């Protein structure tokens, strides 16, 4: 009897469970709130805003040549565009045509060059580099040193679309810049963004620092120094790899051949003079070292550690990530005129308290007309720190995909 009762009780439990399951299956699903479609602005997008302004007819032609008018008029997206007016476009076309279109040419000559001669791919590269996929009014652009990179519309890695070629706006007083090009007006509104006007076209870089430095005829010693400093190292932990790595931001001070020759002469002369006491012997051996050319840097007369330390002092760095790395791209206009302004270098990665390099720009209006860097150590050894001759930047703002380099006329020493 008890066995029958237990079976009946089990059957009742199963039946009740089944009824509850069926009831739950028949319950209406929870009602989610309706999705409200986004409200997009109406009116003229960025391209249409420029097209409606006669002062930007040449840049409008550039957008058309690039095939990007529809993109820049898309009110479902937002943009910041660094455009230039017709005067700035004339400067660009004059340079891009190699002078074939003079600055006083009729407007049709400029429009003809933009619409027919300038490759469409070049136009697209320029406009995409001038465009940021967010709205950045002038009040939201950084003012501190170093300037802050913003991602342009040029994708560097097709597998990772967020890796973009950066552009570097900086708001200052009295002048503001994009890279090293002055900004002449800001915050022109459009329905889908904002337009800032630059003095002329801000062109995208075309090559890495490695390939650009390889083409410099006065940097053979610098290239030899890179090879010597990298000897025994492998992988990305080399100066050569840094210079060739396209996805980074660097600032490199590259001493020219005359600067390295002066360094070689001074080092050999002082060492031989200390050993022999003879100025004649010291002079002869120092001249012989210079005559050896860049190959001298690969000889046993200098150590790999010495060359590596000297090179490290010519790569500017910051510790925003917690350690000193070469992650700042500094254009000449970004160096402040504050007396006694020092910039850290890769030397600080091993000697954190090192004061760095003294940077001294000279401005004429918005343009840097002189830039000096002074190293800590004098040549030949002896004397007080920062008493050695300042290095003049003889070639400024050489802009590559992964940074900017300056050619300077002295080798800077960290000690």
* 390-411: average pLDDT: 97
Mean pLDDT, residues 398-404: 96
pLDDT (average), residues 40-45: 88
Inform me whether the pLDDT recorded for 31 exceeds 90.
no
Residue 9 scores a pLDDT above 50: no
Percentages of the chain per state (helix, strand, coil), in multiples of 5: 40, 20, 40
Closest CA to 368 of 392, 389, 340, 396: 396
- The most confident of the ranges 9-23, 162-176, 229-243, 379-393 is 162-176
For the ranges 18-27, 137-146, 222-231, the lowest mean pLDDT is seen at 18-27
Predicted pLDDT of residue 381: 58
Identify the band that residue 3 occupies on the pLDDT scale cut at 50, 70 and 90: very low
Residue 208: φ, ψ to 5° = -80, 165
Per-residue model confidence as pLDDT tens digits over 218-237: 999 999 999 999 998 877 77
Higher pLDDT, 389 or 316: 316
CATH numeric code, 46-198:
2.30.180.10
Contact 195, 46 (CB under 8 A): yes
The predicted pLDDT at position 320 comes to 84
Whether residue 6 has pLDDT greater than 60: no
pLDDT-based confidence at 247, cuts 50/70/90? confident
Query: How confident is the model at residue 1, as a pLDDT?
Result: 39
- Band the pLDDT of 322: cuts 50, 70, 90: confident
The band of 300, judged by pLDDT with boundaries at 50, 70 and 90, is: confident
- C-alpha to C-alpha distance for 101 and 265, rounded to whole angstroms: 48
Q: Which DSSP helix (H) or strand (E) runs through 404? A: strand 403-408
Cα separation, 178 vs 346, whole angstroms = 26
SS3 letters across 280-326:
HHHHHHHHHHHHCHHHHHHCCCCCHHHHHHHHHCCEECECCCCCCEC
Mean local confidence (pLDDT), 26-52 = 80
Is the per-residue pLDDT at 290 higher than 90?
A: yes
Q: At what angle do helices 220-230 and 257-276 cross, to 10 degrees?
A: 60
Q: How large is the average pLDDT for residues 279-299?
A: 95
pLDDT tops 80 at residue 5: no
pLDDT tens digits along 326-354: 999 999 999 999 999 999 999 999 999 99
Is residue 283 very low, low, confident or very high in pLDDT (cuts 50, 70, 90)?
very high
- 111-120, 287-296, 378-387, 405-414: which range is least confident on average? 378-387
Bridge partners of 177, per DSSP, are 170, 182
Choice between 210 and 234, residue whose per-residue pLDDT is larger: 210
Phi first, then psi: give them for residue 157, nearest 5 degrees.
-125, 110
**Which range (21-35, 241-255, 366-380, 401-415) has the least confidence?**
21-35
pLDDT of res. 4: 39
**Range 209-408: architecture per CATH:** Roll (2.30)
* DSSP state string for 337-380: --TT-EE-BGGGGT-TT---EEEEEEEETTEEEEEEEE-SB-SS
Per-residue pLDDT tens for 143-186? 888 888 999 999 988 888 888 999 999 999 899 999 999 999 99
Average pLDDT over residues 263-284: 94
Specify the pLDDT at position 161.
82
- Asked if the domains at 46-198 and 209-408 fall in one CATH topology, the answer is yes
Q: Where are the domains of the chain?
A: 46-198, 209-408
């Amino acid at each position: 009897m008890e066995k029958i009762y237990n079976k009946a009780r089990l059957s009742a439990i199963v039946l009740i469970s089944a009824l509850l399951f069926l009831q739950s299956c028949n319950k209406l699903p929870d009602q989610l709130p309706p999705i409200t479609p986004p409200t997009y602005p109406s009116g003229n997008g960025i391209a249409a805003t420029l097209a409606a302004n006669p002062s930007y007819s040449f840049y409008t032609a550039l957008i058309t040549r690039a095939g990007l008018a529809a993109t820049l008029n898309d009110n479902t997206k937002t943009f910041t565009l660094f455009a230039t007016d017709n005067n700035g476009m004339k400067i660009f076309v004059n340079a891009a045509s190699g002078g074939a279109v003079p600055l006083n040419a009729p407007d049709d000559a400029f429009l003809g060059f933009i619409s027919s001669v300038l490759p469409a791919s070049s136009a697209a590269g320029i406009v995409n580099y001038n465009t940021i996929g967010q709205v950045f009014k002038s009040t939201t652009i950084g003012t501190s040193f170093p300037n802050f990179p913003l991602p342009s519309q040029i994708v560097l890695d097709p597998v990772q679309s967020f890796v973009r070629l950066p552009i570097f706006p900086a708001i200052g007083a009295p002048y503001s810049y994009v890279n090293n090009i002055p900004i002449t007006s800001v915050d022109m509104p459009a329905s889908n963004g904002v337009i800032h006007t630059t003095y002329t076209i801000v062109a995208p870089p075309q090559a890495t620092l490695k390939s650009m430095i390889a083409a410099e005829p006065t940097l053979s010693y610098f290239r030899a120094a890179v090879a010597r400093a990298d000897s025994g190292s492998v992988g990305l932990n080399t100066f050569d790899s840094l210079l060739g790595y396209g996805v980074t931001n660097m600032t490199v001070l590259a001493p020219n051949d005359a600067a390295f020759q002066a360094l070689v002469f001074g080092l050999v002369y002082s060492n031989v003079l200390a050993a022999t006491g003879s100025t004649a012997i010291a002079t002869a051996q120092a001249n012989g070292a210079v005559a050896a050319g860049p190959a001298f840097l690969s000889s046993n007369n200098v150590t790999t550690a010495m060359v590596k330390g000297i090179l490290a002092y010519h790569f500017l760095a910051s510790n925003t990530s917690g350690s000193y790395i070469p992650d700042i791209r500094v254009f000449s206009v970004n160096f402040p005129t504050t007396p006694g302004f020092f910039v850290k270098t890769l030397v600080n990665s091993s000697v954190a308290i090192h004061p760095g390099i003294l940077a001294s720009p000279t401005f004429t209006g918005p343009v840097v007309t002189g830039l000096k860097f002074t190293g800590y150590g004098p040549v030949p050894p002896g004397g007080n720190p920062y008493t050695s001759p300042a290095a003049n930047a003889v070639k400024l703002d050489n802009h590559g995909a992964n940074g900017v380099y300056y050619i300077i006329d002295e080798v800077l020493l960290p000690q």
